[in-house]
Amino acid sequence: MRYGLIGEKLGHSYSKIIHERIINENYDLIPLSMNEFDDFMKRKEFAGINVTIPYKQKVIAYLDELDPLAQKIGAVNTVVNNSGRLRGYNTDYYGLLYLFNRNNIMAEHKKCLILGSGGTSKTARAVLESLGAEKIITVSRHPEGHSVSYEECYKNHRDAGIIVNTTPVGMYPNVNASPLDLTPFKSCVAVVDVIFNPIKTVLAKEAEGLGIKAVTGLAMLVAQAKQAEEIFRGIKLDDGIIEIITHELMERLNC
């Protein structure tokens, strides 16, 4: 049975390299349009899949069961086919929490901004809540509910201590774009950009230039893949594999 990653555009993905390094078995990149996505999920011709933009929330409608964490977050990036019954999980939570801990980024008692309102934004909120963030503001180009616009962000939330980018702005191939001008955010001590290609985004470079700690999402990607493989195979893997593969990828990409 097939394992792989589904999403709309996967030309930027390192997931095949990572998963095949963790488990020496074929792992496919499966780009799907919206119509193809519907057909793919209904056919269920896979053993396990990972899910990326823009299907982390849309996939939930096709599932028979949700892991409690995925249900709480409202986003799924890992699906297992158990004899035709589909169960969804969120391993991005583990990956993002790993990224924060790996880089000693402390969210406790801090005001935090999350850029973007998609599936990964929901995961980021859950992680920041678990780390004791004092206030969490979601910033969106199309604000609704409790999210705010970028204009309001610049006006009222320049005192944020941590900024997490969950948007694809700045991701390959649009590597010269950035979702935010960091200059007004004088209280910011850390920027976490979940983008992993390029390894160093424009946002991360600007943060470093302003003396702000900046991390991007490669280690998160590897960590969530490690947990996904544990779920796919029903095994336990040592966390050390995350650092080994992250280092190998950095070398491969000449970073």
Q: What are phi and psi of 180, to 5 degrees?
A: -155, 145
State the pTM of this model.
Answer: 0.95
Q: Which residues have a catalytic role annotated?
A: 56
Q: Are residues 107 and 168 in the same domain?
A: yes
Q: Are residues 77 and 175 in the same domain?
A: no
Tell me: pLDDT of 207 over 90.
Answer: yes
Tokens matching residue 172: 């390959």
Tell me: pLDDT of 145 over 90.
Answer: no
Eight-state DSSP code of residue 133: B
Report the pLDDT averaged over residues 24-30. 97
Cβ atoms of 45 and 91 closer than 8 Å: no
pLDDT in tens, 221-246: 999 999 999 999 999 999 999 999 99
Q: Are residues 139 and 66 in the same domain?
A: no
pLDDT value for 1: 82
Tell me: pLDDT of 255 over 80.
Answer: no
**Which CATH number does the domain housing residue 156 bear?**
3.40.50.720
Tokens matching residue 100: 């924060």
Provide CB contacts within 8 A for 109, sequence distance 6+: 132, 133, 134
pLDDT in tens, 148-171: 999 999 999 999 999 999 999 999
pLDDT in tens, 119-144: 999 999 999 999 999 999 999 999 98
Q: Are residues 99 and 171 in the same domain?
A: yes
Q: Are residues 100 and 129 in the same domain?
A: yes
How far is Cα 191 from Cα 179, in angstroms, rounded to an integer? Answer: 12
Q: Are residues 173 and 86 in the same domain?
A: no
Cβ atoms of 11 and 19 closer than 8 Å: no
The SS3 call for residue 26 is coil
Neighbours of 5 (CB within 10 A): 22
In sequence order, what are the beta bridge partners of 88?
Answer: 66, 79
How far is Cα 19 from Cα 122, in angstroms, rounded to an integer? Answer: 24
Report the pLDDT averaged over residues 163-191. 97
Q: What is the mean pLDDT of the chain?
A: 96
Q: Residue 94, class by beta-carbon neighbours within 10 Å (0-12 exposed, 13-18 middle, 19+ buried)?
A: buried
**Which CATH number does the domain housing residue 51 bear?**
3.40.50.10860
Q: Are residues 44 and 129 in the same domain?
A: no
Q: Are residues 113 and 206 in the same domain?
A: yes
Tell me: pLDDT of 11 over 90.
Answer: no
Q: Are residues 160 and 112 in the same domain?
A: yes
Tell me: pLDDT of 254 over 80.
Answer: no
How far is Cα 61 from Cα 64, in angstroms, rounded to an integer? Answer: 8
pLDDT value for 21: 97
Tokens matching residue 247: 């280092």
- In the chain the beta strands, taken as DSSP E runs, fall at 3-7, 28-31, 48-51, 65-66, 78-82, 85-89, 111-115, 135-139, 162-165, 190-193, 213-216
Which structural domain range is residue 17 located in?
3-90+219-252
Place of tokens 């995925």: 70
Neighbours of 223 (CB within 10 A): 28
Q: Are residues 107 and 186 in the same domain?
A: yes
Number of structural domains found in the chain = 2
How far is Cα 49 from Cα 247, in angstroms, rounded to an integer? Answer: 25
Q: Are residues 195 and 105 in the same domain?
A: yes
pLDDT value for 12: 84
Please tell me whether the peptide bond between 198 and the residue prior to it is cis, using omega within 30 degrees of 0: yes
What proportion of the chain, given as a percentage, has pLDDT over 70?
A: 100
Q: Are residues 200 and 98 in the same domain?
A: yes
